[in-house]
Structure 1
Amino acid sequence: MSAPLIAIDAMGGDFGPHCIVPASVACLAEFPSLHLVLVGHSSLIEEILARHPAVDCARLHVEHASEVIGMDERPSQALRGKPDASMRVALDLVRTGRAAACVSAGNTGALMALSRYLLKTLPGIDRPAMVSAVPTAKGICHLLDLGANVDCSAEHLYQFAVMGAVAAESLGVSRPRVALLNVGTEEIKGNQQVKLAANLLQQARGLNYIGFVEGDGLYRGEADVVVCDGFVGNILLKSSEGLASMISARIQALFDENLFSRILGAATLPLLRRLRGELSPARHNGASFLGLQGIVVKSHGAAGVEGFQSAIRLAHMEIRENLPQRLHSRLEHLLL
């Protein structure tokens, strides 16, 4: 296999190249065969790169793009009004085969719209879905959709389940348990779309569908793949991130209360650091756009250097596993 090359939208997210360039440099050091293209304002990117003299210039290229898509811009505006935007240029590198994947922390709606327009969906897939790994009591769970599709039909949920199962298999999960997120586990619970999707999944051959799961069941590790519409998925993900941050802050405040608690905190510091690392949103940052004829990974807009590194690692893994081709070869056997 040739050396993987990933196109990086260096202007996206809350921190832009000031975060993305150091993260890219760190990933080059982590993966000796990796090649990156940083897309954006070349003068600014090169100015930041100059602070990293040890970077391997043979594996890092800067591609100039004169425009940036704002985080609050409408997807339609991004599609029509900014042909030289860093996000679009990075995706076009994937479309033309110069890059094997694109990573961006930019406007989610614009990234989805441009990805669908430039890369197209796989045969049999109506809409791409955003999927990410969520930590559970037993490891991780692949949750989708995370916000790309607010309104979904039963057929869309069925397609998401198929794609999520294949993605989990690519990560080594044997016969991943697939569940629909619902307000109860009984068959009579849920809205019409969820009930219809359950009927479709019960008829699917080769899919290990286990039924409905509630939110607490997700975190107990009752399923390897949990499917919902993007409205519910995005709220669940953001609520989980907020809860993890709140608990971490509350624990820190308790240990800072007095001398005894500070001594206790010092004694338990290694365990607390380990727990914080395992549950850190940065460690699990990066959502894949499943269902495209190419690899696109969305980083959280507020991700720091460590978080953006995680998104690049995810793209690197999907290139190694040739995820779009694996999806394509399995979809024709699983889709109705």
Structure 2
Amino acid sequence: MIRVALDAMGGDLGPRIALDGAVDILSRHHDVFITAYYSPYPGLELPAPHERLSLISCSDVIDGDEEIVLSLFKRRDSSLYQSLNALSQKTSDVVVTLGNTGAMVALARHILGVLRPKLYPALIRELHSNPLRCLVDLGANVHCPPSMLVGFAELGAAYIEALSDELPKVGLLNVGVESSKGSAVIRETDRLLSANKWLTYLGYAEGTELFEGDKNVIVCDGMVGNAVLKASEGLLSFMMSKFKKINGASSLFETFYQTERRHGACLIGVRGNLVKGHGRSDLPAMIGAIEYGIDIARADLCSAIEARLCNEEVK
């Protein structure tokens, strides 16, 4: 049985999307149990009783525009805190949320802990699923020293190994492939990755290599990664609006950022499986985010990544 803790209050479209998504998932996955954490309000219609759906009422909601302050860690009856606490207590196998990214990362580090000291969690996004390739980080960390970027590379490589048969091949996103290009941070990261005995490091990657090429783990800081992803999604929306009358064009463009059933990003580096969906997710995207969570829970992704990192430490 896969147990999903669903933060139903995070999305821009309200809890109805999350609750409808949960009902749809339960109709197609008979080995999945979902606990949805929600905050009641007038007019909210709850789903009909289901033996594999549990609804937990919470008195607090962390809004999408809230800043990360110390009081955040005291809000234990918020839907996000409660869902993460269930993962910490091992009463769930994965958390799925559409909520505040900064709050999610801060609370995940606080409640779940990190896999290794000085290893910073990162958001990873699949850019393509067959063969698997991904981008890391997407916004969990903005100011990144070289050691942090090396950690992202190791997490991304472990992710590839855990979820595919592909050999991880790391590239560092830069403004060019020449050795003289990039900031001092990028050049030092390049030096450290070149000396890493575990990773297969193929050097700098330019933006043209995001969606095809030999490198299947593209590393960057969170500001760059988030900007790249949002620009890609914006371009997709623009192209789909221009070519929506052409047969097959929409499905072609959707592969630009949607990989099979999986939607959203995965926070790796914390002690638990965690999926962050887009705040603007509609019902199909919500369903896809839960599907993603089920997939990584089945693979026990967190344990696989932790085992890989520990294996390298003892060598």
TM-score normalised according to structure 2 size: 0.93
Supply the distance in 2 between the matched residues of 1:80 and 1:325 (Cα, whole angstroms): 25
Q: What is the match of residue 186 of structure 2?
A: 194
More off after superposition, 154-163 vs 310-319: 310-319
Supply the distance in 2 between the matched residues of 1:232 and 1:170 (Cα, whole angstroms): 25
Q: Matches of residues 81-120 of structure 1 in structure 2 within 5 Å?
A: 82-120=75-113
Q: What is the match of residue 66 of structure 1?
A: 59
- Cα displacement (A) at 1:281: 4.4
- Cα displacement (A) at 1:139: 4.8
RMSD of the alignment, in Å?
2.2
Supply the distance in 2 between the matched residues of 1:111 and 1:171 (Cα, whole angstroms): 23
Q: What is the match of residue 180 of structure 1?
A: 172
Q: What is the match of residue 137 of structure 2?
A: 145
Q: What is the match of residue 36 of structure 2?
A: 38
SS at 1:8 equivalent? strand
8 Å contact kept, 2:175–2:181: yes
8 Å contact kept, 1:42–1:63: no
- Cα displacement (A) at 1:126: 2.6
**Paired letter, 1:32:** H
- Cα displacement (A) at 1:141: 2.3
Supply the distance in 1 between the matched residues of 2:148 and 2:96 (Cα, whole angstroms): 25
Q: What is the match of residue 274 of structure 1?
A: 251
8 Å contact kept, 1:134–1:284: no
8 Å contact kept, 2:262–2:291: no
Supply the distance in 1 between the matched residues of 2:38 and 2:301 (Cα, whole angstroms): 27
1:315 aligns with 2:293: yes
8 Å contact kept, 1:9–1:103: yes
Q: What is the match of residue 247 of structure 1?
A: 239
SS at 1:13 equivalent? coil
Q: What is the match of residue 270 of structure 2?
A: 292
Q: Identity, % of aligned pairs?
A: 33
Gap change, CA 1:162 and 1:280, over 3 Å in 2:
closer
Supply the distance in 2 between the matched residues of 1:65 and 1:45 (Cα, whole angstroms): 16
Gap change, CA 1:78 and 1:313, over 3 Å in 2:
farther
Q: What is the match of residue 280 of structure 2?
A: 302
8 Å contact kept, 2:243–2:249: no
- Cα displacement (A) at 1:109: 0.6
**Paired letter, 1:251:** F
SS at 2:125 equivalent? strand
More off after superposition, 73-82 vs 14-23: 73-82
Gap change, CA 1:333 and 1:188, over 3 Å in 2:
farther
Supply the distance in 2 between the matched residues of 1:278 and 1:82 (Cα, whole angstroms): 38
Supply the distance in 2 between the matched residues of 1:284 and 1:102 (Cα, whole angstroms): 15
8 Å contact kept, 2:5–2:36: yes
Supply the distance in 2 between the matched residues of 1:326 and 1:103 (Cα, whole angstroms): 19
More off after superposition, 101-110 vs 41-50: 41-50
Considering fraction of residues, name the structure with more helix. 1
Supply the distance in 2 between the matched residues of 1:105 and 1:187 (Cα, whole angstroms): 39
Deviation sequence 1:202-223 (CA, Å, 0-9, x none): 1222311111100011123331
Q: What is the match of residue 12 of structure 2?
A: 14
Gap change, CA 1:300 and 1:5, over 3 Å in 2:
same
More off after superposition, 243-252 vs 213-222: 213-222
Q: Matches of residues 207-246 of structure 1 in structure 2 within 5 Å?
A: 207-246=199-238
Supply the distance in 2 between the matched residues of 1:82 and 1:298 (Cα, whole angstroms): 20
Deviation sequence 1:138-183 (CA, Å, 0-9, x none): 7552101000100001111001101101101122142121111010
- Cα displacement (A) at 1:120: 0.5
8 Å contact kept, 1:87–1:111: yes
Gaps in structure 1 of 5+ consecutive residues: 256-264
Supply the distance in 1 between the matched residues of 2:43 and 2:55 (Cα, whole angstroms): 8
Supply the distance in 1 between the matched residues of 2:43 and 2:90 (Cα, whole angstroms): 23
Which has the greater radius of gyration? 1
Q: What is the match of residue 258 of structure 1?
A: none
8 Å contact kept, 1:100–1:294: yes
